[in-house]
């Protein structure tokens, strides 16, 4: 990627420029692109951009770039770039999308992706208000625990009744809000969808269940639940009367059917008449269909799914409490957790409480514990970049209950985290199960601030603390990075890299060889002497600063150049006579003490140690004497490319400090034996 002056410019270039953007939106943590051609985006390049926490390719040429809490600012900067003024086909925030192009459904999972995107986009804009009301409920719970109020009193003080109204404003009218967002997602007038759903929670509809105010209504009492089930005869047909306040499945189903009807009406009705007759016909068709059919189906669906999970929770509570936190780490990154969130809301509406959020809290706090361990390690290792990422992610988690910054910014980038984090999930879930389960009286983000909404509160607090500290301790002791990742991070931070046993042995061999040859004259070390070193491999010279590995590009190992090999069968040779002091079985690196006094390292590819020698035919071993032009290793280019590793081969002078300068001689193509470096003592 070409050098740019800012992260927004780098992101714009990485996705193919404004001409490749069909639509750009954003949510709480991610930039959401719909592209002409997503195949041009290189995931690794995107993730190297400062401020980018991760990248998630989607089906249908959709692409997500995870930014975190700064997403609004980055989005605004991208939209204000001069290149975006006329090049992009669209650029609107999620709060104002009205003319985005249709998603191109390519790929076998496009329908599934679209389904879960419909669910997530219907709920996502509501997360701030849900979080805000959950804190109001948490405040009530604290006040009740201290004996100041009684939320279960038959007659409540006006002040408490008003506070109840404050949080009920969101939960009661939730179906209207969901209908609005779902309508926007399916690109129809959101107020039409809102009005259809609002018809079922008007006082007029609610009063239909009152037999003293409405005729033609029959009510029966469910002795088990202590509730009334009323049926009204409307237009000669039976209509089941339900309380739709707080329902989420009904608006989702209703809008999915309203959308094709609405679009069909706009095609057959004259544009001059659409303003009046499209909403009118949508109302007279969809309001009865929703009241007679879709509403009850939504109620039954939510009840059935909730009952199935309730059966598992009652039958095998320990199994249920462990399964939920173990599932969430895999559902959230894919956006597949929204159906469970919908079930939580349905449970609260039908049961008055939810039993899924308690075990889910174990997952969230295991996630936050892993992030805390990463933060502690980054402070210890003086890793400024990771410290900044982890501190922001941990704050968002502990106080906001938001896991995405931790997931995308850290956990999905380091493969060692998930197995250790899952242990914390299991421990927390086990405690919840052994304690008989934890219920929540509202939909709440599982953060420190919402602990009071869970019951039993003590059991929940113990479970999430166990999940947090289990993940924290395991990760802090074992580290979240592989040895290679740790070495890279420490080198980038200017710290001390702890060598592996293999590296230590090589260093000892290097030291012994240096001592054995100390008495021999070293011509390259004589002050004023200029030594030319030739290329060990055929390819293209790359400045060291452009090598995609901070350990090498920063000069920590020594000065030199990189070479991009050009042959299918890569042959690496000794540039001069000397002794091999480093030659691991993996075949990825060779240290040679040249007779002239120059100490040389040839590192074949980047991160190729992970290939464990596959594709490398090693032709020398540690301690061997080699001559100029002698082959050291043969490398199968296809094997390295298939493994996904760069072939860039750094050629470095590891005793650079012994010389006044090390300068590149070659530019462009080189062959074995061509001058490569000028070394001046």
Residues designated catalytic: 27, 603
Structure tokens at 232: 């009204």
Q: How far is CA 636 from CA 549, 590, 603, in A?
A: 22, 17, 15
**Alpha carbons 556 and 653: distance in angstroms, whole number:** 11
**Alpha carbons 557 and 500: distance in angstroms, whole number:** 16
- Alpha carbon 413 to chain centroid, angstroms: 9
Structure tokens at 366: 């295991």
CA gyration radius, the chain: 32
End-to-end CA distance of the chain: 36
Residue 607: left if φ>0, alpha if ψ -120 to 50, beta else—which one? Answer: left
**Alpha carbons 156 and 496: distance in angstroms, whole number:** 65
Instruction: Indicate the helix (H) or strand (E) that contains 582.
Output: strand 578-582
- Alpha carbon 615 to chain centroid, angstroms: 33
**Alpha carbons 557 and 496: distance in angstroms, whole number:** 12
Instruction: Indicate the helix (H) or strand (E) that contains 20.
Output: none
Torsions phi, psi of 462, nearest 5? Answer: -65, -45
CB contact set of 555 (below 8 Å; sequence gap of 6+): 544, 656
DSSP state of 102: P
Please answer whether residues 187 and 96 qualify as being in contact, where contact means their C-beta atoms are separated by less than 8 angstroms: no
β-bridge partners, 653: 559, 600
3-state secondary structure of 576: coil
- Alpha carbon 606 to chain centroid, angstroms: 25
Instruction: Indicate the helix (H) or strand (E) that contains 167.
Output: helix 158-172
Count of positions (residues) in the chain: 681
Instruction: Indicate the helix (H) or strand (E) that contains 266.
Output: helix 249-268
**Alpha carbons 38 and 57: distance in angstroms, whole number:** 8
Query: Strand ranges (DSSP E) for 9-146?
Result: 21-26, 30-35, 54-57, 62-66
- Alpha carbon 493 to chain centroid, angstroms: 25
Please answer whether residues 637 and 545 qualify as being in contact, where contact means their C-beta atoms are separated by less than 8 angstroms: no
**Alpha carbons 298 and 93: distance in angstroms, whole number:** 30
């Amino acid at each position: 990627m070409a050098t740019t002056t800012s992260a927004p410019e780098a992101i714009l270039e990485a996705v193919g420029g404004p001409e490749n953007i069909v639509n750009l939106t954003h949510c709480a943590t991610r930039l959401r692109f719909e592209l002409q051609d997503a195949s041009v985006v290189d995931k690794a390049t995107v993730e190297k951009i400062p401020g980018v926490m991760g990248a998630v390719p989607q089906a249908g040429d959709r692409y997500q770039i995870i930014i975190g809490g700064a997403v609004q600012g980055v989005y605004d900067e991208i939209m204000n770039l001069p290149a975006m003024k006329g090049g992009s086909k669209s650029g609107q925030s999620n709060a104002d999308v009205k003319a985005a192009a249709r998603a191109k459904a390519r790929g076998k999972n496009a329908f599934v992706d679209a389904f879960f995107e419909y669910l997530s986009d219907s709920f996502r804009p509501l997360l701030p208000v849900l979080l805000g009301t959950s804190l109001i409920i948490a405040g009530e719970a604290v006040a009740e625990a201290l004996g100041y109020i009684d939320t279960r009193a038959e007659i409540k003080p006006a002040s408490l009744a008003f506070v109840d109204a404050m949080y009920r404003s969101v939960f009661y009218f939730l179906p209207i809000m969901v209908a609005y967002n779902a309508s926007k997602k399916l690109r129809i007038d959101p107020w039409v969808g809102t009005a259809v759903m609002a018809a079922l929670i008007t006082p007029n509809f609610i009063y239909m269940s009152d037999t003293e105010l409405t005729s033609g209504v029959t009510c029966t009492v469910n002795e088990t639940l202590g509730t009334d089930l009323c049926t009204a005869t409307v237009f000669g047909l039976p209509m089941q009367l339900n309380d739709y306040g707080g329902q989420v499945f009904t608006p989702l189903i209703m809008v999915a059917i309203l959308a094709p009807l609405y679009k069909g009406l706009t095609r057959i009705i004259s544009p001059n008449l659409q303003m009046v007759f499209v909403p009118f016909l949508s109302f007279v068709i969809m309001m009865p269909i929703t009241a007679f059919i879709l509403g009850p189906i939504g109620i039954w669906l939510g009840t059935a799914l909730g009952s199935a999970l309730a059966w598992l929770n009652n039958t095998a509570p320990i199994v249920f409490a462990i399964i939920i936190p173990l599932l969430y780490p895999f559902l959230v990154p894919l956006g597949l957790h929204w159906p469970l969130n919908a079930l939580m809301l349905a449970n609260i509406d039908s049961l008055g409480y939810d039993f899924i959020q308690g075990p889910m809290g174990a997952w969230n706090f295991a996630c936050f514990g892993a992030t805390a361990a990463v933060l502690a390690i980054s402070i210890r290792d003086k890793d400024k970049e990771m410290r900044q990422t982890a501190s922001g992610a941990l704050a968002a988690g502990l106080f906001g209950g938001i896991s995405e910054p931790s997931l995308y910014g850290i956990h999905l980038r380091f493969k060692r985290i998930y197995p250790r984090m899952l242990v914390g999930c299991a421990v927390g879930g086990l405690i919840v199960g052994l304690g008989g389960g934890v219920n929540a009286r509202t939909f709440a983000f599982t953060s420190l601030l919402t602990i009071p909404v869970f019951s039993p509160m003590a059991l929940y607090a113990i479970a999430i603390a166990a999940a947090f500290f289990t993940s924290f301790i395991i990760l802090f002791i074992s580290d979240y990075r592989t040895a290679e990742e740790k070495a890279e991070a420490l080198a980038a931070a200017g710290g001390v890299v702890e060598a592996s046993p293999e590296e230590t042995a090589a260093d000892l061999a290097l030291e012994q060889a240096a001592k054995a040859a100390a008495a021999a004259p070293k011509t390259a070390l004589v002050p004023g002497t200029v030594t030319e070193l030739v290329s060990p491999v055929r390819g293209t010279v790359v400045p060291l600063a452009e090598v995609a590995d901070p350990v090498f590009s920063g000069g920590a190992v020594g000065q030199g150049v990189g070479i991009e090999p050009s042959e299918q069968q890569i042959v690496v040779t000794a540039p001069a006579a000397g002794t091999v002091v480093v030659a691991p079985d993996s075949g990825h690196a060779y240290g040679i003490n040249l007779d002239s006094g120059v100490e040389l390292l040839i590192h074949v590819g980047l991160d190729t140690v992970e290939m464990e020698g596959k594709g490398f035919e090693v032709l020398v071993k540690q301690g061997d004497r080699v001559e100029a032009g002698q082959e050291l290793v043969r490398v199968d280019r296809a094997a390295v490319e298939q493994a996904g590793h760069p072939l860039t081969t750094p050629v470095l002078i590891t005793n650079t400090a012994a010389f006044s300068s090390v300068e590149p001689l070659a530019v462009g193509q080189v062959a074995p034996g061509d001058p490569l470096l000028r070394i001046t003592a």
